[in-house]
């Protein structure tokens, strides 16, 4: 069974369109994240939710809006897509434990904006 799943795996769209990426985790974790990984492979945190509450909201354009309907799901909606939004978007989840917390990542969604 997949621990953290994302859909779609690939997303190709035109500039100006609105798109959503969905994420689900079946690990029972309280915290979920969205990351953006650019062409240089740098992993940048965008948002984090803990028990459906937004706890990390990094400096990202307000065209990006996360939504957590329950603690197992965290979706990302992007309005008015721009060329610079092209990247791989990763969803992750974690559960705090002694000695830190491991983050479990989904397979990524490769977004290409034309």
Partner 1 sequence: TQLLEQSPQFLSIQEGENLTVYCNSSSVFSSLQWYRQEPGEGPVLLVTVVTGGEVKKLKRLTFQFGDARKDSSLHITAAQPGDTGLYLCAGDGDSNYQLIWGAGTKLIIKP
Which residues of this chain interact with partner 1, rule CB under 8 A? 4, 31, 40-45, 48, 50, 55-56, 90, 92, 94, 96, 99-108
* Closest separation in Å from C-beta 112 to partner 1: 14
* Closest separation in Å from C-beta 72 to partner 1: 17
Q: What angle do CA 19, 79, 60 make, to 5 degrees?
A: 110
* Closest separation in Å from C-beta 21 to partner 1: 13
* Closer CB to partner 1, 14 or 28, in the complex: 28
Answer whether 2's CB lies under 8 Å from 102's CB. no
* Closer CB to partner 1, 17 or 95, in the complex: 95
Best CA proximity match to 30, nearest among 107, 92, 75, 98: 92
* Closer CB to partner 1, 36 or 64, in the complex: 36
* Closest separation in Å from C-beta 97 to partner 1: 10
* Closer CB to partner 1, 7 or 104, in the complex: 104
Answer whether 108's CB lies under 8 Å from 21's CB. no
Q: Is the peptide bond before 95 cis (omega within 30 degrees of 0)?
A: no
CA atoms within 13 A on the CB side of 23: 30
């Amino acid at each position: 069974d997949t621990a953290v799943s994302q859909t779609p795996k690939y997303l190709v769209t035109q500039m100006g369109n609105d798109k959503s990426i969905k994420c689900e985790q079946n690990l029972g974790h309280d915290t979920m994240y969205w990351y953006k990984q650019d062409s240089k492979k740098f992993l940048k945190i965008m948002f984090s939710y803990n028990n459906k509450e937004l706890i990390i909201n990094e400096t990202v354009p307000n065209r990006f809006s996360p939504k957590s309907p329950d603690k197992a799901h965290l979706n990302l909606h992007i309005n008015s897509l721009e060329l610079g939004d092209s990247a791989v978007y990763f969803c992750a989840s974690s559960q705090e434990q002694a000695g830190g917390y491991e983050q479990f990542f989904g397979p990524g969604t490769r977004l290409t904006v034309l």
